[in-house]
Structure 1
Amino acid sequence: MPPLLHPTRLAFSHHHRNHHLLPPSTTSTNKTTKKLAQKLLIITMSTSASPHSPPSHHHQQEQKDQILKYHNQTKHNFNNYARGPHGLDWANQPNPFRRYISSPLVPLQQPPNSSNTYSFHYPLYHTVFSSLPSPKPISKTTISQLFYDSLALSAWKTTGFSTWSLRVNPSSGNLHPTEAYIISPPIDSLVDHSFVAHYAPKEHSLEIRAEIPSGFFAKFFPKNCFLIGFSSIFWREAWKYGERAFRYCNHDVGHAIAAVSMAAAGLGWDVKVLDGLGYAELEKLMGVDVFPEFKIPSRPVKGKMPEIEFEHPDCVLVVFPSGIGEFDVDYRKLSAAISEFPKLKWKGEPNLISKEHVCWDIIYRTAEATKKPLKMLNESIVDTFRRSGVISESSYKGFSLREIIRKRRSAVDMDGSTTMTKETFYQILLHCMPSGSTSGEKQGKQLALPFRALSWDCEVHAALFVHRVVGLPKGLYFLVRNEEYFDDLRKATMSEFTWGKPDGCPDDLPLYELASGDCTELSKRLSCHQDIASDGCFSLGMVAHVEPTLSDKGPWMYPRLFWETGVLGQVLYLEAHAVGISATGIGCFFDDPVHEVLGLRGSKYQSLYHFTVGGPVVDKRIMSLPAYPGPSINA
């Protein structure tokens, strides 16, 4: 994702202005759309906030209270923004590359200079949504390819005296708080023993952190399985975005999950979050318990705090061959085995990524509140693969999966003129559905690629602003991604909404028109006055079922809701490129004004992430360089 507009800069140009939300010439806008604009104009003058939950002495209620406090405190509104730095401290910009000094560095295979794959055919992008290819064996070649197509550098950019890298997995502000690990049995020609390694994307190499017992994998997983772990360095994101950084870090985890899932699909491998593991197990499994304890201050503070650079363990994915058949994971026994990992001989010391730091204490209090406990049960890992729906396969341009995932970029600007057909629009949305082609069943269970990596039923929907889709009226639409919530969403939103099926919409695509009319200015204002939200073919806000989910499933679901939005965002990125255009994730938006436009009240449904899809404007002043070998500096 491109750098998100910073609140201090936005406040300087927009803080005291009153804006007309629809241009005077928009005479075709119907009464409902005008009412939306009028409502938004009213709330531009004031700041609204969702009520906090009442205090409670029960631990889980306290956790939920902390989460809702964080969520409300970090909302942007027209008259105030979430707290962040007043300008960027360039002298302490975090190093985007974590290294474990003195740990053995094992290079992965460098790909050939051409755009071809290593040594075997790579499937067309759109075909993996229908079925996975035959699984490839685990080898140095395939492991190298998995990382190269998911978490590696994709290019270097340079202009003037500045040089920076891009990665296959996107990140808010290109700050990359997400670190990755592989926990694996021996791999021929790579590592001759079971191991834990940190992935170093700049070098496209593995840093071997520890050797693990040889019987570990055979005891818990079928043959040809391995694990990928993710952790977050909150400081990397907080350096630029302050308190809102916790949200963005978890968006990035979701993008990384989807990036690995898609790259694995090209190799015939399936992926699932091992969500029975708790925070303590993840910390030991990845070896990130080696960081010194971080004591949370009582208020935001600035100074030398190297301990703030610790890695917060997010999740571990199990990667396994497709068609393997069902297998269970016994989390009680797995936890007992992982409890021995601190006794391993861990190698390497983490590098320092900044000289001085700022601690936004509410981030770390919220991270504490969302720590997940161990789930003591046997869980079946393999779900039936559900193919995604098809209405317009011809919309895709014939790119291979590798071409799409390696060439994915975040558009910095949209041209305001590119259009797409309604068939292409519907096709993109069909690939955004969690249950795939349902044959009359309701959407909800996450069985389609890449949503099948997640271990819970869908909790995220999308409110869409359609701007330039040929054959569809401009206006506000809603994609119900879990149809169990249809009636509740209809009751929770404005009574004036029509909830009609648009022309030509597939029967198994739960897309509904709410109100017709030109919403270009409306979507721009809601996304922090950014033109990119109105200059594409369509933009959207991802609306999650928040407070009841925290109550019913647990406080640890809060970051997982952001992961789900990140997975959906990654699909939108890939789909846009596959049909020949581009996309951008938008983390800066006015939270409660979005809710007001939809008619939502309280914390039941919340907008967590915005996105825009359209024709990109390319900045010709910026030169692209190959990812490998890259330049020797990273400015």
Structure 2
Amino acid sequence: MGIRMPNLPSRFSFSFHHHHHYSLLFPSTFILPKTSTTSSSKKPSTLTMSFSSSSSSPSPSPSISNPKEDSDQHRQLLTQVLKYHNQTKHSFTNYARGPHGLDWANQPNPFRRFDSAPLLPLIHLPTHDQNPSTHEDNPPPLYSSLFCSLPSPKPISISTISQLFYDSLALSAWKTTGFSTWSLRVNPSSGNLHPTESYIIAPPIDSLSNSPFVAHYAPKEHSLELRATIPSGFFPKFFPEGSFLIGFSSIFWREAWKYGERAFRYCNHDVGHAIAAVSMAAAGLGWDVKILEGLGYKDLEKLMGLHKYPEFKIPARAVKGKFSDIEFEHPDCVLVVFPNGVGEFDVNYEKLSSAISEFSELEWKGKPNSLSKEHVCWDIIYRTAEAAKKPLTIRNKFEIDTFGSSKLFSEGSYKGFTVREVVRKRRSAVDMDGVHVMERETFYQMLLHCLPSGCGNGEKQGRQLALPFRVLSWDAEVHAVLFVHRVAGLSKGLYFLVRNEDHFDDLKRATNSDFKWEKPEGCPDDLPLYELARGDCQKLAKRISCHQDIAGDGCFSLGMVAHFEPTLCDKSAWMYPRLFWETGVLGQVLYLEAHAVGISATGIGCYFDDAVHELLGLKGSNYQSLYHFTVGGPVLDKRIMSLPAYPGPGVDA
């Protein structure tokens, strides 16, 4: 991939997509060469690694050590998600199962619409602030300022709700080349396929609805489709004034059309990107956001009206045919958006769930449009989604942590952009130029914004207190192994960012014993970044990211390594998609940081899973790589022309 790719017509797509026709010429050994100079007294370690041919064989079945609910069901669900995870790994000898070419006739429509649901238009906003003097009393916040503190909250209105969607989930541009036209969105998506749908559940809003309502967001129209009106007592009973909910669902077929079995992973990356996109746009309006983690799958289904879809009967194996039911929406999560500084409030999940159960009696408007004529059902995706459904957990306490501010280590790195300017001009680079060199201070500044707890507050990294990670309700489980190619004043080589310091000793024990684990030169005290080994790892980064040049041609690339099987054993199989959400949130920060400092980034979903683990010396499933990323100077494709997002061209992508 570089998984964020436009669906160009087939004659352009060859060099972009990652299907299974590589000649797998692979040297058996990589050596990160010794360097002659070293700033530390310890000899720089070199990395010699041979990739065994067994890197494609699945890891052993889970050894479940005394889970909280030690039940057969817990075991079965866990076995299913681990089976999925191992079966969908790419390796040098074998790619995960997917289509052998793209069925363009059945490319899914990227826009879900509910036919006959009333359309409530939102306000279109200027992309750039043409006249800053109109904001003298209340200038739009700068992107970099949000990490330090949130502005004072704005009231809910048609204007602020329009702004929230415009800066998080709307179209950002149209692109055209030859006979092909496609749209881009503010929230990135694997292959630009956009499996994520979004909903708002809100109290009455002037000029939108006189009663509290549920609506689906239609990005092409930048409008809300009214699905239902809800009881007037719902919001005051459960949430503070000025709150509303945003829900997300996934249509797996959209992603599986191109990526086959691995699509479930990518759909959940996208959920994470969308969660972070909403958190950042909300922060610009002075709103805080938190996932309503206690709610279960059934609650989410009723809350968004997704119980109206017919139940999809999963076939016994992967099969092609007409399955209109496969276009259903799988509910992922619901976020509560509330005014920053509102203080503590509690959510009674038991009573909330009982109030939501009455939503199934509401009158739901609109019928979902059809996305493709024919489909391929990759059955393992649906079995895994079934295993990862979260039940209602009424013991979940809803907590609002104090805002963890992040330090501005190198304010000069940012170009004075507002939040809107950064989020709306974010693009996925198709190629990196292979020459851009990043300043070391800029590199450290970006990584400081990747920390879950903020910094400079004496907090050990782990609890998710900083923007946008504070939206998540669990401690950080995702770390990053970095391949540094071109950062001025920093040796090329392999580095590790520890995002939960409780895992530090375990990580050190679990990885290659030759690694140095030393703080690099000039590294801020509160940035837990460690140098592991020196040497040029451009070729290495490319090869383990499915031979993609983009992973070696940036300033740095990285693999996100999650604390994996112990987390699933401890919490349950429903944590599986959430680990991907966390990587998506982190990926969104990397995207925005890259654009805020004037360069670009791309998420990479195609990489050789076990080769990454072998490189680090990791055995078993305690840690697993879940997402790759590259950051650097982009190469612009001059064949592709940009058009404004609204009003876009008269034709669909």
1:99 to 106, 113, 117: 113
Aligned to 2:102: 88
| Counterpart amino acid of residue 168 in structure 1 | V
Tell me what 2:67 maps to: none
Who is 1:606 aligned against?
624
The answer to whether the aligner puts 1:205 opposite 2:205 as a matched pair is: no
Supply the distance in 1 between the matched residues of 2:297 and 2:47 (Cα, whole angstroms): 46
Measure, in 1, the Cα distance between the counterparts of 2:437 and 2:589: 19
Of 230, 237, 256, the residue aligned with 2:248 is: 230
- CA distance in 2 between counterparts of 1:261 and 1:112 reads 21
Quote the offset at 1:232 in angstroms: 0.2
Q: 1:277 to 1:45 in 2, by over 3 A?
A: closer
**Shift in Å at residue 554 of structure 1?**
1.3
Q: Kindly report which structure 2 residues correspond to 1:129-528, keeping only aligned pairs within 5 A, or say none.
A: 129-377=147-395, 379-528=397-546
Partner of 2:576, secondary structure, is helix
Distance 2:398 2:32 in 1: 58
CA contact (8 A) 2:202 2:245 kept: yes
Match of 1:50 in 2: 59
Q: Is the CA contact 1:26–1:518 (under 8 Å) kept in the aligned structure 2? A: no
Decide whether the 8 Å contact of 1:276 with 1:374 is kept in 2: yes
| Aligned residue identity for 2:635 | V
Q: Residue type of the partner of 1:53? A: P
1:270-291 superposed Cα distances (whole Å, 9 cap, x missing partner): 0000000000000000001110
1:627: which partner in 2? Answer: 645
- Tell me, in whole angstroms, the C-alpha distance in 1 between the residues paired with 2:54 and 2:349: 52
CA separation in 2, counterparts of 1:2 and 1:625?
19
Alpha-carbon separation, structure 1, partners of 2:258 and 2:57: 25
The separation in 2 between residues aligned to 1:356 and 1:121, in whole angstroms, is 50
The letter of the residue matching 2:158 is K
User: Could you tell me how far 1:10 is from its partner in structure 2?
Assistant: 5.1
Contact 2:388 2:577 in 1 (8 A): yes
2:384 aligned counterpart, secondary structure: helix
Q: Which residue of 1 aligns with 2:5?
A: 3
SS at match of 2:610: helix
Task: Indicate which of 39, 53, 60 corresponds to 2:50.
Answer: 39
Question: Alpha-carbon deviation of 1:48?
Answer: 3.8
Instruction: Tell me whether 1:565 sits opposite 2:583 in the alignment.
Output: yes
Deviations 1:312-366, CA, capped at 9 Å, x for gaps: 0000000000000110000000000000000000000000000000000000000
Using structure 2 for the length normalisation, give the TM-score.
0.93
> After the TM superposition, which of the residue ranges 160-169 and 23-32 deviates more from structure 2?
23-32
Shift in alpha-carbon separation, 1:217–1:288, aligned structure 2, 3 A: same
CA contact (8 A) 1:329 1:378 kept: no
Query: Displacement of 1:8 after TM fit?
Result: 8.8
CA distance in 1: counterparts of 2:568 and 2:388, whole angstroms: 10
Q: Which amino acid aligns with 2:112?
A: R
**Shift in Å, 1:2:** 2.6
Corresponding residue for 1:18?
26
Q: For structure 2, which runs of at least 5 residues remain unmatched after alignment?
A: 7-12, 65-69
Aligned-partner SS, 1:323: coil
Shift of 1:12: 2.4
Give the structure 2 partner of residue 72 of structure 1.
Answer: 86
8 Å Cα contact 2:427-2:600 kept in structure 1: yes
Indicate how the Cα distance of structure 1 residues 210 and 87 shifts in structure 2: closer, same or farther if over 3 A, else same. Answer: same
Counterpart-to-counterpart distance in 2, 1:132 and 1:25: 46
* Compared CA separation, residues 143 and 18, structure 1 to 2 (3 A): same
225-234 or 27-36: which moved more? 27-36
Instruction: Sort the Cα spacing of 1:358 and 1:378 in 2 relative to 1 into closer, same or farther, 3 A.
Output: closer
Following the alignment from structure 1 to structure 2, what is the Cα–Cα distance between the partners of residues 323 and 482?
27
For the structure 1 residues 356 and 514, does the alpha-carbon distance in structure 2 shift closer, same or farther, using more than 3 Å as the test? same
Question: Does the residue aligned with 2:570 lie in a helix, a strand or coil?
Answer: helix
The equivalent position to 1:535 in structure 2, one of 514, 531, 553, is 553
1:9 CA drift (Å): 5.6
Q: CA deviation at 1:215?
A: 0.6
Q: How do 1:538-617 and structure 2 match up within 5 A?
A: 538-617=556-635
Q: Judge conservation of contact 1:422–1:470 (CA < 8 Å) in 2.
A: yes
Which stretches in structure 1 are left out of the alignment for 5+ residues?
none
Distance 1:44 1:616 in 2: 34
Deviates more, 1:105-114 or 1:155-164: 105-114
Query: What is the Cα-based RMSD across aligned positions, in Å?
Result: 2.1
C-alpha distance in structure 2 between counterparts of 1:77 and 1:150, whole Å: 35
Do the aligned residues in 2 keep the contact of 1:328 with 1:380 (CA within 8 Å)? yes
Shift of 1:634: 1.7
The answer on whether the counterparts of 1:278 and 1:374 sit within 8 Å (CA) in structure 2 is: yes
Give the C-alpha shift of residue 39 in structure 1.
Answer: 1.8
Query: What amino acid is the match of 1:3?
Result: M
How many residue pairs end up in the alignment? 631
Matched AA of 1:39: S
Letter in 1 for 2:21: F
Deviations 1:151-185 (A, max 9, x none): 00000000000000000000000000000000000
* DSSP 3-state at the match of 1:316: strand
Q: Output the CA distance in 2 between the equivalents of 1:93 and 1:135.
A: 42
**SS across alignment from 1:367:** helix
The alignment partner of 1:51 has SS state of coil
Contact 1:197–1:209 (8 Å) recurs in 2: yes
Q: Does 1:618 align with 2:636?
A: yes
For 1:271, what is the secondary structure of its paired residue?
strand
**Change over 3 Å in CA distance of 1:399–1:63 after alignment to 2:** same
Aligned-pair CA distance for 1:29: 11
Cα distance, 1:122 vs. partner? 1.3
Quick one: structure 1 residues 146 and 626, their matched pair in 2 at CA, closer, same or farther if it must change by over 3 Å? same
Residue 45 of structure 1 deviates from its aligned partner by 8.0
**For residues 82 and 571 of structure 2, what CA distance do their matches in structure 1 show?**
15
Aligned residue for 1:340, secondary structure, equals helix
Secondary structure at the aligned position of 1:339 is classed as helix
User: 2: CA distance between counterparts of 1:205 and 1:337?
Assistant: 27
Instruction: For residue 3 of structure 1, report the CA deviation from its aligned partner.
Output: 2.6
The amino acid that maps onto 1:576 is A
